[in-house]
Amino acid sequence: MIKLFFCASIIVICSCENSTGKLKSVNNQSVLSKKETCSIFEELVLIETHLQNTYFSFENYKEALFISRDSLLKSKNVTLEQFNKSFDHYAKSDKEMTALYEEILNNLNENAAKTSTKN
């Protein structure tokens, strides 16, 4: 799971115009809220997990990942630049980044528990 977060982090960082009020200004820089950043990152992790389980090699699924990422961001009215700036903002603090990862892991565990009780 850590490998997935690391891979997704690198993809997101290497690779967001907003009119819905999800941005806040921090040090004269507009960043998404932690909740919005977390939500998008969580979805990106799930997308990459699915692609990795299907195609195994990053080279085999990287184009699909980038297309999926762009589609996800477009659906949320967020540009890649906004998301990257927001992610970088939260990554500057170990405490913030740890909290972001913990929130994602908690959400994924809750969803997994809900899914397993349905089956």
pLDDT tens-digit map of 1-47: 555 554 555 455 444 333 344 445 554 358 999 899 999 999 999 99
41: three-class secondary structure by DSSP: helix
- According to DSSP, the β-strands at 23-26 and 29-32 are antiparallel
pLDDT tens-digit map of 59-103: 999 999 999 999 999 999 999 999 999 999 999 999 989 988 999
16, 35, 37, 70, 89 from 85: Cα distances, Å: 8, 15, 10, 15, 6
How does DSSP classify residue 57?
Answer: S
pTM of the model: 0.70
74: three-class secondary structure by DSSP: helix
